[in-house]
Amino acid sequence: MSKIQASQALARFKVLDLSRVRAGPNCVRILTDFGADVIRVEPPPGIDPNEAMFAANRGGGDFQNLNRNKRSMTLNLKKPGALDILMRMVKDADVVVENWRPEIKNKLGLDYESLAKVNPRIILASISGFGQEGPLAGRPGFDQIIQGMGGLMSVTGHSGSGPVRAGLAVADMSAGLYAAIGILVALHEREVSGRGQWVHASLLHAQIAMMDFQVARYLNDGDIPVQVGNDHPTSSPMGLFEAADGVFNLGASGEGNWVRMCKLLDRADWLADPEFATETLRVANRARLNALLAEVFKSGTVVHWVDGLNEVGVPAGPVYTVPQLVKDEQVRRLGVIESLVGPEGKAKHYITQPVRLERTPAQVVAQAPGWGEHTEEVLAEHGYSQAEIRRLQADAVV
């Protein structure tokens, strides 16, 4: 088959994906969904002792969602001749993405300087746990470790509960997103300079960047963020409230929302209460205000309050489980989920890109590849004869 074409937006670019697990594949997924020709270069089965984490369950939902629209070739970089194959591919590639610890690419001869000698226009994107330099640069980094070191666990959970892990891979996903942004910026800059460059992102820096106002408050105001459960640290009333038949989220921060909510609830006395006169005072007196709201909200259903609040312009919404969210009409209207039927006749389901380009949208057009499914095809594209390919296979290079 020819290259997979998911969109015209990035169709002129070729990407070699050497990454594993989540941050790197998420980065590359953005590029391939917008049309880049992505070749996933991975060790043959049985080479990487950790392959069960990221490569063995090819039909599983996680692998499928992360690696759709990509081609796959196997290459054992520890074998003689493997580096020559990869460097031949680098010659006409635009981007190489890897997420090894920093010293690994240097040992393999895949550092930026080595790649640039072969192709001065190449962009190397390196994603690591702790960055490319510094005392911790050589450490392995998983999302859970970075959530702890990046401060997220200190502000997640209810007061006094102790550190709590967030329920999704925040550091992994954000590092991949930042790396993709860096790649796109580097490609754009290359249009002027004609030269590639080294792009690197770390899970630690990405996690701290995602902490955003929490860290900025401390740096500039000396305000140490703490756990506040389902409440907002600087706004009130903002949080989770219980209705007669379940819970819902309320976002009545800001004077406009506060006034509209009080009028809807017919509570002019709250507007006149000196303890609620400003946002800062409502945060300081949150416990009392939340208790008053709880008494009111238990008199109606979730639908009653969510619809009523939104009708007057106050943000509110139900709290969904995953099965509930995929059935939501707004989620369906946004096209959040796409499905593809594979050769075996079974459908796989994918989360689409959350940014939409009207003329050249991202698409999901191919299921994730089998292990080395396109090895012979890719080698042939790079000038290898059938006899040479058979020899490489016999020598377990591919």
In this prediction, residue 161 carries a pLDDT of: 93
Quick: pLDDT tens for 50-103: 888 888 899 999 999 999 999 999 999 999 999 999 999 999 999 999 999 999
Whether the upstream peptide bond of residue 237 has omega within 30° of 0, thus cis, is yes
Name the residues annotated as catalytic. Answer: 172
Per-residue pLDDT, 62: 95
What is residue 164's three-state secondary structure? Answer: coil
Average pLDDT over residues 12-33: 97
SS3 assignment, position 340: strand
pLDDT value of position 54: 84
Tokens linked to 70: 């990509």
pLDDT band at 1 (very low <50, low <70, confident <90, very high): low
Q: What is the pLDDT of residues 180-201, one digit of tens each?
A: 999 999 999 999 999 999 999 9
Tokens coding 286 = 């949150």
CA count, 13 A, side-chain hemisphere, 103: 6
Element (H, E) at 242: strand 238-243
Neighbours of 225 (CB within 10 A): 16
Instruction: Give the Cα separation of 88 and 105 in Å (integer).
Output: 17
pLDDT tens, residue by residue, 339-355: 999 888 899 999 999 99
Secondary structure class of 201 (helix, strand, coil): strand
Q: Tell me the HSE value of 252 on the side-chain side, using a 13 A CA sphere.
A: 28
Give the torsion sign (CA, 138, 140, 143, 145).
negative
pLDDT at 144: 97
Average pLDDT, the chain: 96
**pLDDT of amino acid 344:** 83
Show the domains of the chain with their CATH numbers: 14-210+337-395 (3.40.50.10540), 238-323 (3.30.1540.10)
Average pLDDT over residues 236-264: 97
Provide the token pair at 290.
């939340």
152, 227 Cβ separation under 8 angstroms: no
CB contact set of 11 (below 8 Å; sequence gap of 6+):
5, 35, 36, 37
Nearest to 366 by CA among 339, 331, 327: 339
Closest of 182, 173, 168 to residue 21, by C-alpha: 173
Q: Where does the pLDDT of residue 394 fall: very low under 50, low under 70, confident under 90, or very high at 90 and above?
A: very high
Instruction: Select from 292, 46, 20, 279 the least CA-distant residue to 129.
Output: 20
The pLDDT assigned to 53 comes to 84
Q: Could you read off the pLDDT of 133-154 as tens digits, one per residue?
A: 999 999 999 999 999 999 999 9
CA pseudo-torsion sign 80, 83, 89, 92:
negative
Q: What confidence score (pLDDT) does residue 177 get?
A: 98
Q: Residue 156: its pLDDT value, please?
A: 97
How confident is the model at residue 313, as a pLDDT? 98
Dist CA 339 CA 347 (whole Å): 6
Cβ neighbours for 303, distance < 8 A, ≥ 6 positions apart: none
Q: How many residues does the chain have?
A: 398
pLDDT tens digits along 273-300: 999 999 999 999 999 999 999 999 999 9
CA distance 67 to 15: 13
d(CA 150, CA 163): 12
Helix boundaries (H) for the chain:
23-33, 51-54, 61-67, 82-91, 102-108, 112-118, 143-149, 152-155, 170-193, 203-211, 213-221, 255-264, 268-272, 279-284, 286-297, 302-311, 322-327, 329-334, 375-381, 386-394
pLDDT for 343 equals: 83
Q: Kindly state the average pLDDT of the residues 305-332.
A: 98
